[in-house]
A and B are shown apart, each in its own frame.
Chain A
């Protein structure tokens, strides 16, 4: 190693490199910077020992503290569950009416239902429970199978036309057209009567003819006045809400070859508390009875 070269102007040592007579000064790093750097090295060594750090072929070193991100998540989930345990036990034990009387518990249930709804129900009913064609809107005041908390809970627990559950809600509208129970002309007459029932534009003569056909073929389920029957899930035909649209064309299609929605039974899959949460959430949406 060559002798140290000191720059005459600044009095600082140079690195010994020289380019065309220009020498690079070897300016020392600030003391605090060097100390911070050493402290970081010490910290890094400690970190590597304490936490998962060095990647190996099958995973990484686990670290003496045994920390893992999955474990941390499980811990915080367990902590959240423990924090909710009191409320959840109450939800499981108390009846829906009792829960509704306890304002704080009711709010807790609705909040829980809101988040469970996003996971289990929004696929069909929409994230705002607004429904779609063939999937009921849960915000409105029209209920196929009943809008009381008990009826809603029954529907969620056992589903609709869900054959795996013996207690499921079930009903079927005959295929009046496809099975040739009624002719197309007769169907059009019934449809005009239904349009009259719901206060829409219709052919008065056809509606009069349709009235008799309605009494013979439809009133058994939909009622003599067309107001429906919740025991059978038969829709109210006099209101403004139509599951499969209320135009003449759509009603003809539904009578000719009806479509039937299926809802799974959540009874075995979700806990009683979660089902009660969902029930109270749906009931709180504005149309609950």
Chain B
């Protein structure tokens, strides 16, 4: 084959993170990714736009919760320990919902990785998204790859300082906006925004913004691929997640090799070359600084920009797309052996995928059922330990209890607190002379916990054992037939010996 392709220049690009080129003690070589166009680049723009919009807009969404709760749709209220998510309100006791969601996120990550590979890394990871955003700025200010390499090598001049400081200033602005958006998840966004800019916000707001500004600026501006390669555990875990049916960005060397540049092809007309014209564009666009043609590597975040780059070249030289493509190992081996239809869609239907989907779905259904069934009322009882019981003058024994009634609805309610399973006992509140054996009405504010001191007294002669179990029951008195009802077991303690003996 002696065809010479016009419009395709060879780029002198070095894969700086090639395994054999990287000494442990060598300083990092900066990666200058070249701009690409194509399907996956477009997809990444969209993902970036959507994820950034979600991040910046979410805290500003409002949600009407009546008079007794904040109106922010998503709010982590650390001060009063409540988490609001649209129509859901979570108390600290219900943190298992958050735990369950995290487990779901973990299993979801397994599912995604085992099927479409490191899609999380390549498209949605904040490190990737913000690095992409910072690269847009870098390219806008300093130009594309070649211009940036030239600028890096150039001596310091007014021009270079101007470009660099412009870039850093814009980066800092973005970094501050990133850190700034974070704090709005933890307080009423409009109020906090006003206080923040009038310098009246809490010191922790400023320090949080400062820390997140710093990390965003450094991670997305300077550390970039080093975060993925050295700091993040996921590239190392992925080897346990990927199997021969997972999609990974693959250089189809069965089609591309032996590679030959234009010059090679001109000089060695007799050799049969593969489709790879060794233009190095895939290396130039890689944000991780690797050469995908070396095979699957830990550094590869499967951002697929090399696919776009290669496809554009294949189109120019009139070859089919997909010399670099999303492909599974089994597909690749089958092609290599020449036994597989090249267009076959990789198989997602396999036991592993179903197990992940099943586990993920079961946790999801479990959480949903819990969410629908959960009580919006709870009673916690703490028996006084010092003293365990008190001898009263009429011969009765009294026990003290701290009873907490948790009204988890955003409306004030009245509960009837009564005791069950202790015949002959009466209860009374501290500081009140009113005794009752049927129950006491307790008002609890909206979305509040009321802590009351309750005494229960009875004749110890009616008790067979030193310790007797009974129950505190709270019922919403205005709840009708399906009223919220909560029940907690408590103990009643009498003296070990009867009578006056110490």
Contact = CB atoms under 8 A, between A and B. Distances in A.
Co-assembled chains A and B:
yes
Interface of A: 27-28, 30-31, 100, 126-130, 133, 137, 139-142, 199-200, 236, 239-242, 245-247, 283-288
Nearest to B500: A246
B27 A139 contact: no
Interface string B401-434: 0000000000000000000000000000011000
A286 B398 contact: yes
Contact of A133 (B25, B386, B431, B502): B502
B390 A127 contact: no
Contact of A200 (B27, B390, B391, B500): B500
Chain B CB within 10 Å, residue with most, of A27, A127, A200, A285: A285
A246 B497 CA distance: 14
Contacts of B393: 140-142, 236, 239-241
A286 B392 CA distance: 10
Contacts of A129: 387
Contacts of A285: 430
B501 interface: yes
Contacts of A27: 25
A141 B386 CA distance: 17
Given A126-B386, A126-B387, 11 more contacts: A130-B386, A130-B390, A139-B387, A141-B392, A142-B393, A240-B393, A245-B500, A246-B500, A284-B430, A286-B453, A287-B392
7 contacts: A127-B386, A128-B385, A140-B398, A200-B499, A241-B391, A247-B501, A286-B455
Given A27-B25, A284-B430, A137 B390 contact: yes
Nearest to B451: A107
Contacts of B501: 245, 247
Contacts of A141: 392-393
A148 to B, nearest CB: 13
B502 A130 contact: no
Contact of B431 (A128, A137, A199, A288): A288
B400 interface: yes
Contacts of A127: 386
A137 to B, nearest CB: 7
Counting from the closest, the 7 A-B pairs by CB-CB distance are A128-B386, A246-B500, A239-B393, A130-B387, A139-B390, A142-B393, A240-B395
Contacts of B502: 133, 245
Contacts of B500: 200, 240, 242, 245-247
A42 to B, nearest CB: 19
Contacts of B270: none
Most chain A beta-carbon neighbours within 10 Å: one of B395, B398, B502 = B502
A27 B453 CA distance: 69
**Most interface-central of B384, B390, B502 (chain A CB within 10 A):** B390
B394 A286 contact: no
Interface in B461-502: 499-502
A286 B391 contact: no
A284 B393 CA distance: 17
A27 to B, nearest CB: 7
A286 B431 CA distance: 7
Contacts of B499: 200, 246
A286 B400 contact: yes
Contacts of B384: 128
Contacts of A130: 386-387, 390
Interface size class of B (residues with CB under 8 A): 20 to 34
Nearest to B393: A239
A245 B391 CA distance: 12
Interface string B4-32: 00000000000000000000010100000
B391 A137 contact: yes
B257 to A, nearest CB: 32
B431 A240 contact: no
A211 to B, nearest CB: 21
Nearest to A100: B431
Contacts of A139: 387, 390, 398, 400
Interface string B213-253: 00000000000000000000000000000000000000000
A219 to B, nearest CB: 20
A245 to B, nearest CB: 6
Contacts of B390: 130, 137, 139-140, 286-287
Given A28-B25, A31-B27, A133-B502, A284 B391 contact: no
A31 B27 CA distance: 9
A105 B480 CA distance: 37
B431 A284 contact: yes
A130 B390 CA distance: 8
A286 B430 contact: yes
Contacts of A247: 500-501
Contacts of A283: 431
Contacts of B386: 126-128, 130
A236 B393 CA distance: 9
Nearest to A246: B500
B107 to A, nearest CB: 36
A126 B390 CA distance: 13
A139 B398 CA distance: 9
Nearest to A288: B431
Nearest to A240: B395
A141 B393 CA distance: 6
A58 to B, nearest CB: 38
Please indicate which of the listed interface residues B392, B430, B500, B502 has the most CB atoms of chain A within 10 Å of its own CB.
B500
Interface in B351-398: 384-387, 390-395, 398
Nearest to A236: B393
Contact of A240 (B25, B392, B400, B455): B392
A129 B160 CA distance: 78
Contacts of B400: 139, 286
A141 B435 CA distance: 14
A253 to B, nearest CB: 14
B25 A239 contact: no
A209 to B, nearest CB: 23
A239 B387 contact: no
B445 to A, nearest CB: 13
